Amino acid sequence: MAGHFTIKTSYVSRMTGSTDTADIASLIDLLRASRRTVIFTGAGISTESGIPDFRSPGGIWTQMAPIDFRDFISSAELRKEAWRRRFAMEEMFSTVQPNEGHHAVASLVKLGKASHVITQNIDNLHQQSGVPADRVIEIHGNTRYAKCLNCGARAELEPIRAHFEAHGEPPDCRFCGGIMKTATISFGQAMPESEMARAEAATLACDLFIVLGSSLVVYPAAGFPILARKNGARLAIVNREPTDQDIYADLVLNRQIGPTLREAVNAL
């Protein structure tokens, strides 16, 4: 698609919450020109709520390696470890609140500007900020509940925790005896087919695709911005650090998501 303008700014030193009007004006221009925007979020949108991301200094990966899906299936010990880690984070996940970035995204959906939020996050904060559940596409699942890996039955975490504390191991599925896991997608696990299909359809139908807080290194999720761009949509990336996909973007803002997006949405 001809006529894209390219503005790349790198104002990492100004990551204080203050914003620069010139580059935010470009984001506002893109939003105003858009009839159908898709928002794509990563762990970076939730750091302002107090949930660490994976790859920033102090991020989750600097503290513990992720447990691969095959290891989870084959090792009862690693399943216990996965659940131990999950319950250790329960206080954070059950009390955390959406921040102004989530609320700005919710406003874009409410205004009819954004059709969908495709999220890699598992924290449920887009729904908590008021985005209708059918507009949120969770391609890496949700950590606020569990699922049986065999029959797919949903289970709440509290009874699993009570069993874990009483017996030192998680319960099997009460319907089929299968293995229970948080309803998240681990490394090595198949992507959820219907969510991927919905994410692809939303991406192909948009004219503006905005990435918020993703290092864009986790595939296939990171394929969506490229798909949007190849399909003729404009691409904007708001992320604290540069990403490998900045070269494809019409606009790159190395800025803090919350204040940046709030200012842009307030101007619409």
List the catalytic residues: 140
Query: Contacts with ligand NAD: how many residues (CB under 6 A)?
Result: 27
User: CB-wise, 109 or 222, nearer to ligand NAD?
Assistant: 222
**What does DSSP assign to residue 32?**
H
Contact between residue 206 and residue 181 where contact means Cβ atoms under 8 Å apart: no
Q: Which of 216, 222, 170, 160 is nearest to 191 (CA)?
A: 222
Strand partners, 52: none
| Interface map 98-127 toward ligand NAD (x if CB under 6 A) | ----------------------xxxx----
Stretch 48-77 residues interacting with ligand NAD (CB under 6 A): 48, 51, 53-56, 59-60
What is the residue whose two structure tokens read 């975490």?
157
Stretch that binds ligand NAD, among 4-12, 75-83, 188-196, 213-221 (CB under 6 A): 213-221
Q: Give the one residue of 248, 256, 261, 265 binding ligand NAD; rule: CB under 6 A.
A: 256
Confirm or reject binding of residue 259 to ligand NAD (CB under 6 A). Answer: no
Stretch that binds ligand NAD, among 22-30, 38-46, 107-115, 225-233 (CB under 6 A): 38-46
Confirm or reject binding of residue 142 to ligand NAD (CB under 6 A). Answer: no
**What does DSSP assign to residue 68?**
P
Q: Give the one residue of 47, 129, 186, 245 binding ligand NAD; rule: CB under 6 A.
A: 47
Q: Give the one residue of 79, 86, 113, 140 binding ligand NAD; rule: CB under 6 A.
A: 140
Strands 180-184 and 141-148: antiparallel
Confirm or reject binding of residue 148 to ligand NAD (CB under 6 A). Answer: no
Confirm or reject binding of residue 158 to ligand NAD (CB under 6 A). Answer: no
Query: For residue 268, what are its two tokens?
Result: 């619409």
Q: Which residue intervals of the chain are DSSP H helices?
A: 21-33, 69-74, 76-88, 90-95, 100-110, 125-128, 157-167, 193-205, 223-230, 257-266
Distance between CA atoms of residues 183 and 126, nearest Å: 16
Contact between residue 225 and residue 245 where contact means Cβ atoms under 8 Å apart: yes
Q: What residues line the site for ligand NAD (CB under 6 A)?
A: 42-44, 46-48, 51, 53-56, 59-60, 120-123, 140, 213-215, 218, 239-241, 256-257
